[in-house]
Chain A
Amino acid sequence: MTSYPKEMQESIARVEATRPARLSTKFPRLSLQEQETLLKGFHPDYRPEGKRRLRVGPSWGEAVPHELADLLEAYPLLDPKAVDVSRPDVDVDVLVIGGGGAGTVAAIWAHASGIPAERILIATKLRHGDSNSIMAQGGIQAADKPHDSPAIHYLDVLGGGHFTNDPKLVRALVEDAPEIIRWHEDLGVMYDKEPDGTMVEIHGGGTSRKRMHSCKDYTGLEIMRVLRDEARSRGIPVLEFSPAVELLTDHGGQVVGAVLWNLETGEYTVVWAKATVLATGGWGRLHIQGFPTTNHYGATADGVVLAYRVGAKLRDLDAVQYHPTGAAYPDQLVGLLITEKVRGMDAQPLNRLGEPFVHPLEPRDVESAAFIRECLPPEKGGRGLGILTPTGMVGVWLDTPMVDILHGKGTFQRALSSIYRMYIRFDIDPTREPILVYPTLHYQNGGVVIDEHGWTGIPGLFAAGEVEGGVHGKNRLMGNSLLDYNVFGRRAGIAAAGWARLASPGTPTLAHVERYVHELRSAGVPPERKAPLLLPEYRGEKALARMVDLL
């Protein structure tokens, strides 16, 4: 069984020829110095033409990708004068914006902190659970084995982030981690365990201990659906297909709710809230520098835009995470995630000649840079040793048959069933043939500045999950995003509940939006630019060119 074209099969023959010798060897790890050189030479973040400095707002002067700058330097989608926010359609104690992992955890913990379910609202753009959280495959980190410790985890996180992380946030992350895993056990998450209950844990890129817990390669799906079920059990209301398009503020600048917009009917809904938790996720669907993405349909950085308009500071948004192993063939799968767990289970990246060129588990940015160097043509400074596909994509091999050879027949299908299923649909058997991969836009490393309680520094506004920044600095390690949304979702939910009990919100307004518009005009931002984006534009050019709005 193979659907690989002949040219690719010739390269596969080389992969097979070098395999026996590679089974017992691993490419050496790079020193910090070598890593830095590789990053500077080949990581897309180091291309200065990819970014510009912000000309408006609280993080004025900071460089972010053009695709994000275009949304931050943009006028409101919603005309502040077209809506009446002086009366609420819904009035709650805690509004959670975003129904992925972080939002669901925040809502559960707000409830566990004593806020009645009917005084909480989760508002989300798509369905409850449609998120990057549900797509995570590989695992979640927690230092819970005897030879590991939160302090070692701390060092790994910091090294992976090139020492740019906020130490307080990293501490919260690693210190809460074991408790999060135990909470998941209480909720009924089916972690991979030995018969006696011992967690099966493996390495991820940049980890110095095996601390990656997983649920086959559906870790994100399993945790998300359990959390969603728990929120349902608690009776927490959810408004689906209702993205927030603007936050509300009172005269003192306190965030006191949001305006939601019904994606299907076009109606707006005014929500007054004593505390608001922003859990809108990341930015993959901005396709920064034209990269494909692993992210879900709604990952359009809406929360960063909303928070910026109320004065929240941003950080580390110059750092984009490209996951080294996005699918590069067949075309239907391009950009989709191939979990790092595949490399954690000893599949090696190889070039066209079947030669290894990088350790399989360098931190993600380093690994990605190595792949790009291998594929770029020599005239662009690369090695020109990538594999070309019939549609012009390029990639390197991931030698997936090694998983079963080294760990026993059947391991791949058992431990990596989602990847197996994905390829077998297209007549590629990853237990017998390697798969082609290339870096894909995966994660928003930075985001809204928070403290260790998820507070943004703006009264009434909290943030958790991918929308916030500082936890991972400029590069996140595998398994720390699921951990991040649990740790900070919980902390933000508890803090929001505490705030809601004491808050005395003033009259909700959109005054901050009008002030922001003024600032945009002074900076000469072109009037056609609007944000938040809400959904990416994927309609065919031919159809769009002839589209007129008549009804």
Chain B
Amino acid sequence: MNEVTVFIMGKGYRVPAGLTIMKAMEYAGYRLTRGCGCRGGYCGACATVYRLKGDYKLYGDLACQTTVQDGMYIAQLPFTPAERPAYRLEELQARGETLLALFPELARCVACNTCTKACPQKLEVMDAVQAALRGDIPGVADLTFDCVSCGLCTMRCPAEISHHHVWQLARRLNGAYLTPRAPHVAQRVEEVRAGKFKGELDRLVAMPKEGLVAAYKARDIEP
């Protein structure tokens, strides 16, 4: 078997080449509780920092999506403390200054771009901070849509911004207040309330299987 040496929290282990950091830790005997969630790159639980042999840089990535390399030094971040101010969406207005009022530390951004370099999703994080400073809520929402809240940018930010909480608020403001509602959804809700489909559903619920099968076969399929 082709093996590599990885250093988990500074201690060396031989593991098969080609494993993800997460699977390598398990192979070495770790039973994960922290630092493991969806195992598919969506939940952000497995933020990990590492260094490579002979390289001065500190890298960050998701343990479930990153393949081990020989000589890798790995430390998982079990948790990212981050400040989320109390708010109720319905009491807020989607105005430019809303984000800065709730997250004044945004103004401490020194445009160092460390956040962008830290992002495992390769998002333009600093651009999003700048958009937040400008009060461009749709811009923030769009730039951060693929954020998995892993906290790596937050851990490295010299301005101590709680990025993923800012993004969350911006996206909710954008979705709730700055995007037109779907008129057909509102209309259908009213139709259901008014009982427009009640009779048809009553009939279907009571229908024996043969009738249902026939109706199912007969239904036309939208191209």
B129-149 Cβ-contact flags toward A at 8 Å (1 or 0):
000000000000100011011
A118 to chain B, nearest CB (A): 15
A190-224 Cβ-contact flags toward B at 8 Å (1 or 0):
11010111110001000011100001101011100
With A126-B37, A185-B185: A296-B43 Cβ-Cβ less than 8 Å: yes
Interfacial chain B residues near A294, Cβ < 8 Å = 40
With CB as the reference atom, state the residue of chain B lying closest to A163.
B209
B18-39 Cβ-contact flags toward A at 8 Å (1 or 0):
1110010011111111101111
Stretch in A229-237, A244-252, A347-355, A401-409 touching the partner: A229-237
Question: Which of B42, B43, B172 is packed against the most chain A CB atoms within 10 Å?
Answer: B42
CB of A197 within 8 A of CB of B65, answer: no
CB of A134 within 8 A of CB of B43, answer: yes
CB of A175 within 8 A of CB of B88, answer: no
- The answer to whether the Cβ of A32 comes within 8 Å of any Cβ in the partner chain is yes
Give the complex CA separation of A544 and B65 in angstroms: 24
CB of A188 within 8 A of CB of B188, answer: no
B40 to chain A, nearest CB (A): 5
B45 to chain A, nearest CB (A): 6
With CB as the reference atom, state the residue of chain A lying closest to B29.
A543
CB of B180 within 8 A of CB of A196, answer: yes
CB of A167 within 8 A of CB of B205, answer: yes
CB of A175 within 8 A of CB of B197, answer: yes
- The answer to whether the Cβ of B55 comes within 8 Å of any Cβ in the partner chain is no
Task: Give chain A interface residues in 529-551, CB to chain B under 8 Å.
Answer: 535, 537-540, 543-544, 547
Interfacial chain A residues near B71, Cβ < 8 Å = none
- The answer to whether the Cβ of A149 comes within 8 Å of any Cβ in the partner chain is yes
CB of A158 within 8 A of CB of B216, answer: yes
- The 8 Å CB contact of B40, one of A186, A188, A336, is A336
Give the complex CA separation of A151 and B121 in angstroms: 41
- The answer to whether the Cβ of A515 comes within 8 Å of any Cβ in the partner chain is no
Please name 24 pairs of A and B residues whose Cβ atoms are closer than 8 Å in the assembled complex, sorted by A. A126-B33, A130-B37, A130-B38, A135-B43, A150-B197, A151-B200, A158-B216, A159-B212, A159-B216, A182-B185, A188-B173, A199-B182, A208-B220, A221-B148, A226-B171, A229-B168, A263-B33, A332-B18, A332-B19, A332-B65, A535-B33, A537-B31, A538-B32, A539-B30
- The answer to whether the Cβ of B95 comes within 8 Å of any Cβ in the partner chain is no
A485 to chain B, nearest CB (A): 16
- The answer to whether the Cβ of A432 comes within 8 Å of any Cβ in the partner chain is no
With A185-B176, A230-B89, A547-B29: A134-B201 Cβ-Cβ less than 8 Å: no
- The answer to whether the Cβ of B56 comes within 8 Å of any Cβ in the partner chain is no
Give the complex CA separation of A226 and B147 in angstroms: 13
With CB as the reference atom, state the residue of chain A lying closest to B31.
A539
With CB as the reference atom, state the residue of chain A lying closest to B24.
A540
B41 to chain A, nearest CB (A): 6
B181-223 Cβ-contact flags toward A at 8 Å (1 or 0):
1111111110010000100110011000100110111011110
A494 to chain B, nearest CB (A): 17
Interfacial chain B residues near A210, Cβ < 8 Å = 222
CB of B205 within 8 A of CB of A171, answer: yes
CB of B122 within 8 A of CB of A225, answer: no
- The answer to whether the Cβ of B174 comes within 8 Å of any Cβ in the partner chain is yes
CB of B38 within 8 A of CB of A538, answer: no
With CB as the reference atom, state the residue of chain A lying closest to B177.
A188
What bracket does the count of chain B residues touching chain A fall in? Answer: 35 or more
Task: Give chain B interface residues in 106-135, CB to chain A under 8 Å.
Answer: 121-122
- The answer to whether the Cβ of A357 comes within 8 Å of any Cβ in the partner chain is no
- The answer to whether the Cβ of A178 comes within 8 Å of any Cβ in the partner chain is yes
Give the complex CA separation of A178 and B182 in angstroms: 11
Give the complex CA separation of A158 and B209 in angstroms: 10
Interfacial chain B residues near A151, Cβ < 8 Å = 197, 200-201, 204
Interfacial chain B residues near A7, Cβ < 8 Å = none
CB of B201 within 8 A of CB of A233, answer: no
Interfacial chain A residues near B40, Cβ < 8 Å = 135, 294, 296, 336-337
With CB as the reference atom, state the residue of chain B lying closest to A129.
B43
Give the complex CA separation of A516 and B216 in angstroms: 43
CB of A163 within 8 A of CB of B89, answer: no
Task: Give chain A interface residues in 137-186, CB to chain B under 8 Å.
Answer: 142-147, 149-152, 154-156, 158-159, 163, 167-168, 171, 174-175, 178-179, 181-182, 185-186
With CB as the reference atom, state the residue of chain A lying closest to B200.
A151
- The answer to whether the Cβ of A411 comes within 8 Å of any Cβ in the partner chain is no
Give the complex CA separation of A3 and B29 in angstroms: 30
B203 to chain A, nearest CB (A): 8
- The answer to whether the Cβ of B67 comes within 8 Å of any Cβ in the partner chain is yes
CB of A178 within 8 A of CB of B192, answer: yes
Interfacial chain B residues near A229, Cβ < 8 Å = 168-169, 172
A258-277 Cβ-contact flags toward B at 8 Å (1 or 0):
00000110000000000000
With A175-B201, A188-B171, A216-B145: A193-B179 Cβ-Cβ less than 8 Å: yes
Give the complex CA separation of A295 and B144 in angstroms: 25
Interfacial chain B residues near A32, Cβ < 8 Å = 213, 216-217
B215 to chain A, nearest CB (A): 6
Stretch in A64-72, A79-87, A417-425 touching the partner: A417-425
CB of B172 within 8 A of CB of A188, answer: yes
A401 to chain B, nearest CB (A): 22
- The answer to whether the Cβ of A89 comes within 8 Å of any Cβ in the partner chain is no
Interfacial chain B residues near A296, Cβ < 8 Å = 37-40, 43
A471 to chain B, nearest CB (A): 14
Give the complex CA separation of A264 and B35 in angstroms: 12
A50-64 Cβ-contact flags toward B at 8 Å (1 or 0):
000000000000000
B74 to chain A, nearest CB (A): 16
Give the complex CA separation of A179 and B191 in angstroms: 11
- The answer to whether the Cβ of A10 comes within 8 Å of any Cβ in the partner chain is no
A53 to chain B, nearest CB (A): 25
CB of B201 within 8 A of CB of A226, answer: no
Interfacial chain B residues near A218, Cβ < 8 Å = 42, 145-146
B196 to chain A, nearest CB (A): 8
A146 to chain B, nearest CB (A): 6
With CB as the reference atom, state the residue of chain A lying closest to B42.
A135
Interfacial chain B residues near A230, Cβ < 8 Å = 89
